[in-house]
Structure 1
Amino acid sequence: MSFQIKSSGDTYDAIIVGSGAGGGMASKILSEAGLSVAVVEAGGDFDPAKDEDRTQLRPPWESPRRGAGTKVRPFGDFDAAIGGWDIDGEPYTRNNGTRFDWFRSRMVGGRTNHWGRISLRFGPNDFKRASIDGMGTDWPIGYDDLKPYYDRVDKLIGVFGSKEGIYNEPDGFFLPPPKPRLHELFLKKGADKANVPMIPGRLSMLTRPINNERGVCFFCKQCNRACQVYADFSAGTCLVHPAMKKGKVDLYTHSMVRKVTTNDQGKATGVSFVSKIDMKEYKLKSRVVVLGASACESARIMMNSKSKSHPNGIGGDSNALGRYLHDSTGADRMGILPDLMDRERYNEDGVGGMHMYTPWWGDNKKLDFARGYHIEYWGGMGQPSYGAGGGMDTMRKYLKDEFGKPSPNGGYGEGLKKDVRRIYGSTLGMSGRGESIPRHENYCEIDPNTVDKFGIPVLKFNYTWSDQELKQAKHMHDTFEEILTNAGAILLGSKPGPESEYGLHAPGRIIHEVGTTRMGNDPKTSVVNSNCQAHDCDNVFVVDAGPFVSQADKNPTWTILALSWRTSDYIVDQLKQKNI
């Protein structure tokens, strides 16, 4: 059942806050174990197969903005993201010198509706980086602890890829990968010359059927719009909604959680939330509370969960709550490839993401920074959208007529259209996504002077990049230039330098933030234990990326899913034993 407003006098076995990767997986595993579950979501319901939600295959001109982004849909009017970095009535603040940008999703399925679906396992080294380079802290668990759950996630959700035998880029149970597109073949030629590996991508899109409830990818390249045949992974379509059909799951939408409620013994009793429909406060009761609201939002809820038994909030005495916040590094470069100009037009869409990528290949012992990055490649002849033809003043100088002279076309009208058609499909580029060092001095905290429109105290951020991330970004751009020029491309734009932090995006812009409720064996330096169970409140669990001790150079979603499944199994076991 789905509710907009309901305050129940009954007690659920588990309340799950958030319906993204972690919350969605918990809803499936806990409900299938026979538990009664309430999923509390700050946004509305969402199903890309319903007409009111469907944006897939709709041309840009159906949008009044021709597909351009808005505050509530910043990646484009037809993108599946509903939320953004700047939400009316839901502010956050920053300390001086901080550029951290916080992305929130307000919809069932959360960020899994519009993510790139890059589904990489963390490798054995990623759990023990401190032992390798002396920076940060090792995880209290290792790859072998999560491998069985990675395997289960692969089989349940589906991921394409190829077995490569790379130690720290573990292979999984893969569906057949799509073939490289033309621009990827050119880029691979450049990567081969630079001795940089380039292998088939690993994305959670079905290239073969895995069950009767989901369709197979038909290569429209619009996974960011969420798939109406459910061929790509979104937590709402693959986890939450199926759990609601099969188990005892109630969904509370438009419900903004204020705090976890506790009793005098310090045990969680449920949650308090404000309905966005009538702006009134309601309470739900449960035996267990599972936080999967995203790393920063879950930390915020725990900080705001103050009571006589938890005067500093749940986890607030650890000296770690909100600390060790870190996001993936991100930098990009593009070029224009003359060999791809004026080519014949054909369907080159493919999946909505990279068909090939570069896992980290470097030896950090020979480099001046400690952690690595992977490279994502992009380009080709996707459907033009808002902004197509932008930057033509820069690119037109590379267009020559039949006599080798610069393009005679003007910068507007028919001439502009001719030039856009000639260049269409010839631009290509790459993005680096790397691991940053978790640091105590990068954190979020409650701003004592600011509340949101629901009266809930908001977060204040403090974050700066270290020299490790800056040196890594410089290495990214050196690599980008080498691959692009080796491929025959002409570089667009100038190479960024130290004055722009080597082109690094602001922290938070890659939307991979982790670490605010990190796991560990010592309650004085960690918020949750190795089972993602709060040290100071044993019936509260965190299943988003907050418990991550370090990020690795991989996207976090597959590890969130595996950890949530492992934590959910533990919850079921502990409830059966009446330990919580």
Structure 2
Amino acid sequence: MSFEIKSSAETYDAIIVGSGAGGGMAAKILSEAGLSVAVLEAGSDFDPALEEYRTQLRYPWESPRRGASTVRAFGDFDAAYGGWEIDGEPYTRKDGTQFDWFRSRMLGGRTNHWGRISLRFGPDDFKRKSIDGLGDDWPISYDDVKPYYDRVDKLIGVFGSKEGIPNEPDGYFLPPPKPRLHELAFMKGGSKINIPVIPSRISVLTRPVNNERGACFFCAQCNRACQVYGDFSSGTVLVKPAMKKGHVDLYTYAMVRKVTTNDQGEATGVSYVSKVDMQEYKLKGRVVVLGASACETARIMMNSKSTRHPNGLSNSSGTLGRYLHDSTGASRSALMPELLGRDKYNEDGVGSMHVYTPWWLDNKKLDFPRGYHLEFGGGMRMPNYGFGFGMESMRQHIKDEFGNPSPNGGYGAGLKRDIRNVYGATIGIAGRGESVPQYDNYCEIDPHVVDKFGIPVLRFHYKWTDYEVKQAKHMQDTFEEIFTAMGAKILGSRPGADTEYGLAAPGRIIHEVGTSRMGNDPKTSVLNKYSQAHECKNLFVVDAGSFVSQADKNPTWTILALSMRTSEYIIDQLNKKNIG
């Protein structure tokens, strides 16, 4: 059953804050063990199969804004309720910080609109300090997490290919889709310069895995959320099925203020503000599980001050909010002259890349310590005007092939000619890399600002180091090398040192991790190796806040695996009466 507001008279076995990857997995595992579970979501309910939520297979002209991205961060029909800026929910920055914080306010959170890139961390990713002397090793190894990765693969479904790359572990894969024409060009270019381009690992069903979900029908609109549940979203694959089996109550529009505690400092539940009536309510629980996202979870814990926790929950170490880091990101685009004027046909595929490049070099031979992977884009998706006709380099390439393009982008017959010629010929590469965690990159409570619910907001401090800037420079070298090998014409000028080589602002890749990291020593960490708070034994964190370091991979698959591991530990501890 679904609630918008409710003041609890009962005590739940577990209260879960957040319904994304970590919260959704916890809801499934804990409820299926017979526990009574409350899931609190700061946004609305969401089910893409229902017409009231559907944006998949809608044309741009169906929007009153004709597709302009004036309402949602990634376009009117993207399944992202929220963004980097939300009215009435501010955050602040200090000392010139450019950190941008993306919040998703809907059931399933960010898992509704992500790229579904589902990569396991490798053995080296858990012991980076032992390899390069920077940061810290995790208190767990790949072998500790591998059984849970295996189960996540089988439960959710991920396509890919077995490659035997030591730090890019293979899993249980569904058949990958065939490369599209532009992806074949990337594969050809990569082979010329010994850069591997292999099938992607994406959580989209290329064949059914159970009777509740349909297989992908290749509309390339996964970012709009799938009506047949062919891609992974926490709401449709984890939370909704758990609710159907009972034991799960969903509270929507519930903005959590803090975790409540007793005189012994143990968690007793949560206090939240209902967005419906702006009143405050309390829920009681034997266990509290935070999966609100790394920064939101840190905010809740820092706002949960008490006599026993004067600096926030489990924060005697002073590391709560510290070691915040995001993936690095840079990109370039190009034009493939041989694809200009190409035949038009349906090559949509899945809503993500069919091929990618895992990290292929040895950092010991480079001037930066951590690697990155490559994501490739292009093809003939639903077209829109804006192929870069204002860029002189683009116009020159079109002129060389087809004569003068229409002046200033053109209109009428000239505009149609230009669009048809260029459609399917533009390509892009994005690098996504690992940054080195820094104590001085952090979020904290702003002592002077509250949101519209009266809850103190976060203030960010974040600077990239030379490690990340040098990595971005290497990305740009790689982009140009691949484009040249492909015979592509690079568009625009090369980003230089003045722009940190095109390095995106921290937070823009939406992979932030590390604010409540795990460790064996309570003096330098917030959580133990099971993501249990050192100083509040019935409080657990199941989002990326627990990460000691980010890898050169996307974090979602590791969030899911660790949440499954933590949830089963909670069940074990409850059964042994060690908590609750």
Deviations 1:254-292 (A, max 9, x none): 000000000001110000000000000000000000000
Q: Which residue of 1 aligns with 2:252?
A: 253
Q: Which residue of 2 aligns with 1:241?
A: 240
- Counterpart Cα distance in 1 of 2:569 and 2:521: 19
What is the percentage of aligned positions where both structures have the same residue?
A: 75
Q: TM-score, normalised by structure 1?
A: 0.98
Matched, 1:37 2:76: no
Q: Which residue of 2 aligns with 1:440?
A: 439
Q: Which residue of 2 aligns with 1:283?
A: 282
Contact kept, 8 Å, 2:78 with 2:223, in 1: the verdict is yes
Deviations 1:284-334 (A, max 9, x none): 000000000000000000000011221111022122100000000000001
Contact kept, 8 Å, 2:406 with 2:415, in 1: the verdict is no
Q: Which residue of 1 aligns with 2:139?
A: 140
Matched, 1:357 2:356: yes
Q: TM-score, normalised by structure 2?
A: 0.98
Deviations 1:357-409 (A, max 9, x none): 0000011111000000000000010011474565465422212377x754466
- Counterpart Cα distance in 2 of 1:69 and 1:425: 22
- Counterpart Cα distance in 2 of 1:392 and 1:226: 33
Matched, 1:464 2:463: yes
Deviations 1:104-134 (A, max 9, x none): 0000000000000000000000000000000
Q: Which residue of 2 aligns with 1:56?
A: 56
**Residue number among 409, 414, 417 corresponding to 1:411 in the alignment:** 409
Q: Which residue of 2 aligns with 1:68?
A: 68
Contact kept, 8 Å, 1:261 with 1:269, in 2: the verdict is yes
Cα distance change on mapping 1:363 and 1:117 into 2, 3 Å: same
Contact kept, 8 Å, 2:390 with 2:408, in 1: the verdict is no
Post-superposition shift, 1:96?
1.8
SS in 2 for 1:400: helix
Cα distance change on mapping 1:391 and 1:112 into 2, 3 Å: farther
Deviations 1:199-238 (A, max 9, x none): 0000000001100000000000000000000000000000
Contact kept, 8 Å, 2:388 with 2:394, in 1: the verdict is no
Identify which range, 181-190 or 41-50, moves more after superposition.
Answer: 181-190
- Counterpart Cα distance in 1 of 2:108 and 2:387: 30
Within 5 A, what are the aligned runs for 1:75-474? 75-385=74-384, 387=386, 391=390, 394-400=393-399, 405-407=403-405, 411-414=409-412, 415-474=414-473
Matched, 1:47 2:53: no
- Counterpart Cα distance in 2 of 1:258 and 1:385: 42
- Counterpart Cα distance in 2 of 1:573 and 1:343: 59
- Aligned partner letter, 2:277: D
- Counterpart Cα distance in 2 of 1:420 and 1:319: 56
Cα distance change on mapping 1:104 and 1:182 into 2, 3 Å: same
Q: Which residue of 1 aligns with 2:481?
A: 482
SS in 1 for 2:31: helix
Contact kept, 8 Å, 1:334 with 1:428, in 2: the verdict is yes
Cα distance change on mapping 1:228 and 1:390 into 2, 3 Å: farther
Contact kept, 8 Å, 1:149 with 1:565, in 2: the verdict is yes
Structure 1, unmatched stretches of 5+, are: none
- Aligned partner letter, 1:512: H
Deviations 1:517-566 (A, max 9, x none): 00000111000000000000000000000000000000000000000000
Q: Which residue of 2 aligns with 1:579?
A: 578
- Counterpart Cα distance in 2 of 1:229 and 1:393: 43
Deviations 1:163-193 (A, max 9, x none): 0000000000000000000001111111111
Please give the root-mean-square deviation of Cα atoms over the aligned residues, in Å: 1.2
Contact kept, 8 Å, 2:390 with 2:409, in 1: the verdict is no
Post-superposition shift, 1:151?
0.2
- Counterpart Cα distance in 2 of 1:300 and 1:14: 20
- Aligned partner letter, 2:474: H
Deviations 1:463-493 (A, max 9, x none): 0000000000000000000001110100001
- Aligned partner letter, 1:347: N
Within 5 A, what are the aligned runs for 1:7-18? 7-18=7-18
- Counterpart Cα distance in 1 of 2:408 and 2:570: 66
- Counterpart Cα distance in 2 of 1:296 and 1:417: 46
Post-superposition shift, 1:411?
3.0
